[in-house]
């Protein structure tokens, strides 16, 4: 007798299932991987049992192998449900006790299958028939068989509901995984339903063919869509961990303003717990806070809230939360405590005023009195004259430093990133240095067409570097610039002056000063602040005959006609040939798309002179 034509496919299903199951077991520590391994092992046993039943020529052999297949029929839906729950949500994952309860029915059915001759609850008749030259098995099912199928279909239905709901709130990658799991369950489910419901002749059981699709679908989910390594449950766990551990207060409200969830930081702020707050209107939990959020609706604002630590200031942000259905809409409220930042800003405002106005005015008064004193003292005493000149020089230095800080502050406050042509910017900065130091020898080698992200503060930074090199170095001072080919341009200011003190370098590299480690000027800090404002870095190259300060600035990014992104600087491009607009006075008024705001970290290094001047 011939065996049915689809028998090799059934055996192939067993092989594929064993391979996927082995791979899943390798990742058994990953949530859901053990369930995948059990699912594929059960599918392999079921398919192998069905294949042997199809290949066996005798009734006794077919009955034995059918019993083998049915022995694991309860594990397949249970393992598939465990896979789905672990995949969808870590909180839904089946624990050992729940698995034990769900295993009661499969174990009971297993016992009934092997003792059916005593009670005939699973089937009442097994016989063979010849169809198309092959011996096939026919049977009549009993009550336990139908009860077992109802239980199995229920588990599969629960998993399908979970996956369909998950598809409404996940991205494409996870939807692909969900679809693969749905296909893995649907194919054998439909095949089995058609076989046992009488839609097909009783001698045909296509369940095993359905498992061919199951093996392929799970294999695709595992190897192509990373089912075992990238899952919604992992993403959800990561987000929950971040929200729970963050210092910012986060609350979720429904459309009626009732609290749906809040993180531990919000619990501490409101003096409540999640269990007490969930389901209550926010105003009932904290009246002042609830009224402030209700008035804000959506957007951003600064709130003042009184708590156990006194009055605190918060940057409040309220955004809408829209789900697949109107009943899931709501709002997310996040708060960031900005009290310390607000106090620092107030102190900086006062300090800035002192430097820009009070200190300058008071130093002018001191300077004027020194001049009057010099007129009244004996002009023939060189010691007195020398000391008075030193006092005047110190006053001028203090006033100049205050003016530099004030100028940089004004430039940065009203400045945004612009397209800056480096050549005219450098020429303007060098010209101002030459006005103050007519005898300075400065060589400028900056090609036209080097365009970088910058602004008014960049010009001040270049002027400061050139002035510092002229004052403390030996001539000549050389200023060069060129594109580096990696989207940046490098500006180099080289001189023949002394090296950089180790302490000065350490302070700049760390980006902070202490009572024991500090610089002695402000010039290089001004350079760093300005360059970092435009996304650049400041470093230096030590040479035996001097020092070179290296400023790296990002080039202006533009999009070509073919959609590809190109980066200037580009040597050889004339200002007038720039496709992005004309460049006048060293800059254009096209704001960069990445916004503004200095990076709080200070990387790279700058320099200050051994004598402490800048």
Q: pLDDT tens digit string along 586-597?
A: 333 333 333 333
More confident of the two residues 507 and 437: 437
pLDDT at 72: 92
CA 109 to chain CA centroid, Å, is 49
Query: Residue 484's closest CA among 539, 433, 442?
Result: 539
Residue 364 has pLDDT above 70, yes or no: yes
pLDDT tens sequence across 527-540? 888 888 888 888 87
Of 316-325, 394-403, 556-565, least confident by mean pLDDT is 556-565
pTM reported for the whole predicted model: 0.49
pLDDT at 130: 61
More confident of the two residues 35 and 367: 35
Summarize the confidence of residues 113-123 as an average pLDDT.
88
pLDDT at 430: 92
Residue with tokens 């009549």: 140
Residue 473 has pLDDT above 60, yes or no: yes
pLDDT at 518: 55
pLDDT at 605: 36
Length in residues, the chain: 614
Residue 101 has pLDDT above 90, yes or no: yes
Average of per-residue pLDDT values in the chain = 75
Residue 210 has pLDDT above 50, yes or no: yes
Burial 80-99 (b: 16+ CB within 10 A, else e): bbbbbbbbbbbeebbeeeee
pLDDT at 323: 55
pLDDT tens sequence across 278-333? 888 888 888 888 888 888 777 888 888 876 667 788 888 888 876 544 445 788 88
Strand segments (E) across 330-458: 330-337, 418-421, 442-445, 451-454
pLDDT at 115: 93
Which of 16-20, 75-79, 607-611: highest mean pLDDT?
75-79
- What tokens does 234 get? 């992992």
Residue 383 has pLDDT above 70, yes or no: yes
Of 104-108, 331-335, 346-350, least confident by mean pLDDT is 346-350
pLDDT tens sequence across 225-240? 666 665 555 555 556 6
Q: Report the C-alpha gap between 387 and 383 in whole angstroms.
A: 6
């Amino acid at each position: 007798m011939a065996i049915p034509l689809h028998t090799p496919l059934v055996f192939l299903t067993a092989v594929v299932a064993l391979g996927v199951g082995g791979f899943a077991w390798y990742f058994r520590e990953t949530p859901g991987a053990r369930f995948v391994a059990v699912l594929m092992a059960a599918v392999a046993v079921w398919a192998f049992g069905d294949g042997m039943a199809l290949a066996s020529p005798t009734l006794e052999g077919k009955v034995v192998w059918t019993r083998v297949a049915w022995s694991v029929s309860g594990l397949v839906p249970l393992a598939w449900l465990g896979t789905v729950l672990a995949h969808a949500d870590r909180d839904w994952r089946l624990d050992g006790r729940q698995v034990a309860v769900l295993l009661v029915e499969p174990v009971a059915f297993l016992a009934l299958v092997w003792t059916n001759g005593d009670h005939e609850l699973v089937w009442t008749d097994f016989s063979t028939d010849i169809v198309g030259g092959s011996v096939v098995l026919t049977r009549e099912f009993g009550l336990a068989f139908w009860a077992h199928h109802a239980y199995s279909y229920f588990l599969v239905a629960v998993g399908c509901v979970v996956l369909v709901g998950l598809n409404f709130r996940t991205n494409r990658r996870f939807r692909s995984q969900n679809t693969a799991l749905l296909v893995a369950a649907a194919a054998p489910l439909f095949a089995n339903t058609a076989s046992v419901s009488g839609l097909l002749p009783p001698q045909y059981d296509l369940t095993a063919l359905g498992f061919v699709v199951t093996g392929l679908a799970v294999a695709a989910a595992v190897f192509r869509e990373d089912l075992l390594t990238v899952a919604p449950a992992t993403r959800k766990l990561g987000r929950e961990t971040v929200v729970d551990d963050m210092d910012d207060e986060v609350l979720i409200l429904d459309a009626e303003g009732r609290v749906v969830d809040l993180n531990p930081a919000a619990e501490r702020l409101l003096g409540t717990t999640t269990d007490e707050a969930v389901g209550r209107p926010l105003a009932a939990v904290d009246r002042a806070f609830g009224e402030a959020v209700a008035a804000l609706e959506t957007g951003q604002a600064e709130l003042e809230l009184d708590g156990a630590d006194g009055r605190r200031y918060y940057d409040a942000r309220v955004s809408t939360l829209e789900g697949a259905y109107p009943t899931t809409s709501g709002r997310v409220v996040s708060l960031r405590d900005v009290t310390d930042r607000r106090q620092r800003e107030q102190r900086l405002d006062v300090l800035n005023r002192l430097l820009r106005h009070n200190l300058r005015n008071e130093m002018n008064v001191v300077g004027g009195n020194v001049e009057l004193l010099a007129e009244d003292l004996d002009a023939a005493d060189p010691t007195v004259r020398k000391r008075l000149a030193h006092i005047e020089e110190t006053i001028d230095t203090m006033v100049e430093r205050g003016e530099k800080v004030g100028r940089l502050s004004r430039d940065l406050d009203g400045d945004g990133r612009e397209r800056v042509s480096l050549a005219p910017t450098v020429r303007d900065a060098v010209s101002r240095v030459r006005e103050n130091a007519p005898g300075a020898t400065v060589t400028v080698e900056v090609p036209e067409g080097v365009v970088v992200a910058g602004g008014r503060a960049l010009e001040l930074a270049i002027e400061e570097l050139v002035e510092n090199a002229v004052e403390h170095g030996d001539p000549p001072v050389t200023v060069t610039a060129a594109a580096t080919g990696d989207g940046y341009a490098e500006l180099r200011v080289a001189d023949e002056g002394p090296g950089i003190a180790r302490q000065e370098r350490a302070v700049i590299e760390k980006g902070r000063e202490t009572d024991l480690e500090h610089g002695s000027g402000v010039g290089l800090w001004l350079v760093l602040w300005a360059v970092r404002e435009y996304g650049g870095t400041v470093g230096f190259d030590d040479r035996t005959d001097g020092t070179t300060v290296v400023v790296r600035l990002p080039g202006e990014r533009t999009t070509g006609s073919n959609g590809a992104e190109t980066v200037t600087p580009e040597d050889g491009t004339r200002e007038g040939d720039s496709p992005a607009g004309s460049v006048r006075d060293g800059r254009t008024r096209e704001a960069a798309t990445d916004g503004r705001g200095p990076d709080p970290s200070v990387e790279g290094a700058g320099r200050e002179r051994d004598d402490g001047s800048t």
